[in-house]
Amino acid sequence: MKKLSIILSVLSIFLFYACSKKDEVSASKLKAGQSKVVLTASGAASGKFNSNDLISIVAKSSAEINISASYVNTSTFSTEIVMILLPATITEGTYNLKSMSSSDVLPVFTYTKGSTGWAAAPSEQEFTIEITKATSTEIEGTFSGKAVNETDLTEVNITNGKFAAKY
């Protein structure tokens, strides 16, 4: 009986570690060129998004950082995509898109589920991006707010958003 208890304890610890590791968002865990994004969506689209490591990338140029994260639901065969575009010169801090000028091109957030997409852009939506780490090789942060589909005016509320990328 004692042996069974020890085995069950070890299995429980392993299961807990395996489940918690999946949602970890840290650039230090990524290879160069990879990104990781998680979020919770509600409203016109709902559910939890947790990007697939093999199909989530980052590209950095002298002008911008493009974080593209994808999730494929193998049960429903639906695809979800998150894209976060940031200025290449972005620094640690909090960026409220609604209070930014409409002449600012970046940052931009987009979320697509199936064939429908929602976006948040400067001066348009209440959406906040917080950069918690910005180095020459890595970026990490959090985000939340409303994204809008400009065609049908539906909204998606994004909460618990986290991202990490390694260039």
Asked if residue 107 has a cis previous peptide bond (ω within 30° of 0), the answer is yes
Q: Give the integer Cα–Cα distance in Å for 147 and 87.
A: 19
* Residue 150 CB coordination number (10 Å): 11
Torsion sign across C-alpha atoms 28, 29, 35, 37: negative
Q: Choose the weakest-confidence range: 53-57, 65-69, 135-139.
A: 53-57
- Residue range 10-65, pLDDT digits in tens: 333 333 333 344 568 999 999 999 999 999 999 999 999 999 988 999 999 999 99
Q: Which residues contact 3 (CB under 8 A, 6 or more apart)?
A: none
Of residues 4 and 50, the one with the higher pLDDT is 50
pTM of the predicted structure, to 2 decimals: 0.85
Of residues 78 and 58, the one with the higher pLDDT is 58
- The yes-or-no verdict on residue 3 having pLDDT over 80 is no
- The yes-or-no verdict on residue 9 having pLDDT over 60 is no
Q: Which residues contact 103 (CB under 8 A, 6 or more apart)?
A: none
Tokens in use for 43? 């409203």
Q: Which residues contact 156 (CB under 8 A, 6 or more apart)?
A: 41, 42, 43, 44, 45, 111, 118, 146, 147, 148, 149
Determine the pLDDT at residue 23: 62
Determine the pLDDT at residue 76: 82
- The yes-or-no verdict on residue 108 having pLDDT over 90 is yes
Q: Cα 60 vs. chain centroid, distance in angstroms?
A: 17
Average pLDDT value for the chain: 88
Determine the pLDDT at residue 53: 87
Q: pLDDT band at 73, cuts 50/70/90? A: confident
- The yes-or-no verdict on residue 131 having pLDDT over 90 is yes
Q: Which among 45, 23, 159, 143 has a CA at the least distance from the CA of 94?
A: 143
Determine the pLDDT at residue 48: 95
